[in-house]
A and B are shown apart, each in its own frame.
Chain A
Amino acid sequence: MAYGFLPIGVLLGTAFLIPILSLKNDKFATYTAFTGCLAAMIITLSMVPQVVSEGRIVYHMESWKAPFGITVVIDNLSIVLSFLSILITFLVIIFSYRYVKERRTKYYSLLCLALVGALGMIVTGDIFNMFVYLEVMSVASYALIAFNKDRPALEASIKYLIMGSLATSLLLLGIAFLYGITGTLNMADISVKISSMTNPLVGISFGLILTGMLVKAGLIPFHAWLPDSYQASPSPVSSIFAGVTTNTGIYAILRVGFLVFNSHHALLWLMTFLGVISMVAGAFLALVQTNLKRLLGYSSISQMGYIAMSVGLGTSLGITGGILHIINQAIIKSLLFLCAAFIVYQTKTDNIYEISGHFKFQPVVAYSFLIGGLSLVGLPLFNGFVSKWLIYIATLQINPVLTVVALMVTVITLAYILKAFYLIFLGNVKPVASEKKIPITMRIPMITLVILIIILGIMPSATIKLSEAMTLSLERTKYIAEVLR
């Protein structure tokens, strides 16, 4: 019985059904992707009651017991992240209906494949499977970045391809070492076997696996691909990257770091160190950008830095704050990228100095951008406030210097968000802004995300409770006991 595998199977089927069904009319690509995503979302939701009552469901593929067969492990953390990933992709599919007008078949197939990779990484309990899904996600992303086939797109794609496949090769090398010393690939089983080993290969394989994951998460020394690909890919795809794929990288670090390597002493130190660097440098680099999508890309690095720093504190409050910030920044960043996508759709430029006085034409987009931006800064009543507040408290308990740094970065975040808002939406009207109405298919995703931001922001106790439950599912001994039962 592999019910847990069903969302992935449905989406994989959808991805290959799209080219067949849209042979005559390529609008069917959108409809098929829409239906497949909706089905996957419903199946994921149908697993929620069982996960809530049991805490963790373990599916064994074809009834092969844990260390031998492939396991699919669904707990609070993975079900929330899979639902979030499917939801964001679903909204992006709706948004893309009017945005992508040619080569729809390829676009939606690749979108579904990228989602398959992300979901697979989130639910799998097998480290080699994680590598395979990571590659599925990466290959789909390489092709999606190059989708426009213009000079920046091709350059960004080849940069990401070389960096990304080197990273996944290092990940495979790490897995090969782990297999060599333990003889198993199940994450729980590896964890049990290496806990009593003093082999130096454990540390080496940990470093290799972590490097591979960090490149996908886009923390600073490994970030070179991220702004380029956010800038050059089709704008709704940037939304997927910000909301789905980088989160998967952070999730994999959390899972592998806390479960397999039992929060290795290097992990926490490294995460805090890289987190602080990414946070500060990402925010400063965002401040000087002239390209809206590049600005948001650097801002994404900065938010990833917040998450990494908070998780690296190692306290349960820090991890809770970090996990909550994963959810919140995914929602906020997808909204901001959808706004950016709409601005690009309307004005055909993404240079913030060329657009001006846009508020008059698009109040809906302006308010969405403002709400998303203020939530990113961490203003009360929006969801960003809750997670940032948790992060401030968690850092204050460990080291007040980190709190000061985090607050300073918040001020810089406010500066670049206001800069972008002021230049794009306020000021004199320039002729470049054309008066095109917002299609309803673009308005619905934006408004959904705005409503999510406000709902999560005015119910902080519920979201904190949720992320505490998600933090508990990172606990190692219980996971091992339930998987190897």
Chain B
Amino acid sequence: MIPYLISTILMIIGFYTIMLKNNLIKKIIGLNLFSNGIHLLLISIAYRTGGIPPIMEDLNFIRFSSLAVDPLPQALILTSIVINFSVTAVALSIAILLYREFGTLDMRKIKELWG
């Protein structure tokens, strides 16, 4: 239960940061928190108390089927972490260029396209 609770809290903090903070760097941190909350949720779907890796060492089918964890969510979040990493890299590089152009990272002042 605790992982679900923590992932919900992480998502709420991330969403709050994206929506209500004006600093661009904080918004990017919020995006990361939000996605990491989702990753935690996805990995805790596959959690089993006393689980073993899904590798069959002996032909004990009963033990395997009752204890082996589902490996797929781990593969999914690894993919998602890599994607998230590249999005963050693009976001930070744009933030650097924005700071050079505008001299600020306050999203309230970066507002030229309007209407």
Contacts and interface: CB of A to CB of B under 8 A. Distances in A.
Contacts of A228: 113
A181 to B, nearest CB: 9
Nearest to A136: B83
A158 B113 contact: no
Nearest first, the 7 closest Cβ-Cβ pairs linking A and B are A176-B42, A228-B113, A180-B45, A135-B83, A154-B98, A173-B38, A169-B35
Contacts of A180: 45
Contacts of A183: 70
Given A155-B98, A166-B18, A143 B113 contact: no
B24 A158 contact: yes
A438 B14 CA distance: 50
Contacts of B83: 132, 135, 139
A161 B91 contact: yes
A156 interface: yes
Interface in B81-108: 83, 86-87, 90-91, 94-95, 97-98, 101-102
A232 B111 CA distance: 13
A152 interface: yes
A162 B98 contact: no
A179 B73 contact: yes
Contacts of A158: 24, 91, 94-95, 98, 110
Interface in B28-53: 31, 34-35, 38, 41-42, 45
A428 B105 CA distance: 44
24 contacts: A128-B76, A128-B79, A132-B79, A142-B90, A146-B97, A150-B101, A151-B101, A152-B112, A154-B94, A154-B97, A154-B101, A155-B110, A158-B95, A159-B113, A165-B35, A166-B18, A169-B38, A172-B38, A173-B11, A176-B38, A176-B42, A179-B72, A289-B115, A294-B115
Contacts of A165: 31, 35, 87, 91
Contacts of A146: 94, 97
B113 A155 contact: yes
Nearest to A142: B90
A159 B38 CA distance: 22
A179 B45 contact: yes
Contacts of A155: 98, 110-113
Contacts of A156: 113
Contacts of B11: 173
B104 to A, nearest CB: 12
A231 interface: yes
A282 to B, nearest CB: 14
B23 to A, nearest CB: 12
Contacts of B97: 146, 149, 154
Contacts of B98: 154-155, 158
Interface in A225-262: 227-228, 231-232
B113 A152 contact: yes
A176 B41 contact: yes
A96 interface: no
A387 interface: no
A157 interface: yes
A232 B113 contact: yes
A169 B112 contact: no
Contacts of B115: 288-289, 294
Chain B at the A interface: SS class:
helix
A143 B89 CA distance: 11
Nearest to B70: A183
A162 B80 contact: no
A326 B115 CA distance: 26
Interface string A43-77: 00000000000000000000000000000000000
Interface in A1-34: none
Interface string A266-292: 000000000000000000000011000
B34 to A, nearest CB: 5
Of B18, B73, B76, B111, chain A has the most CB atoms within 10 Å of the CB of B76
Nearest to A134: B83
B103 to A, nearest CB: 11
A42 to B, nearest CB: 31
Given A172-B38, A173-B38, A162 B18 contact: yes
A230 B94 CA distance: 18
Contact of B45 (A135, A143, A176): A176
Contacts of B31: 162, 165-166, 169
Nearest to B113: A228
A173 B90 contact: no
Contacts of B41: 173, 176
A79 to B, nearest CB: 27
A161 B113 contact: no
Interface string B6-36: 0000010000001000001001000100110
A166 B91 contact: no
Nearest to A173: B38
Interface in A187-243: 227-228, 231-232
A227 B114 CA distance: 9
A143 B102 CA distance: 19
A152 B112 CA distance: 7
Given A154-B98, A155-B110, A172 B90 contact: no
A228 B113 CA distance: 6
Nearest to A138: B87
B69 to A, nearest CB: 13
A294 B113 CA distance: 10
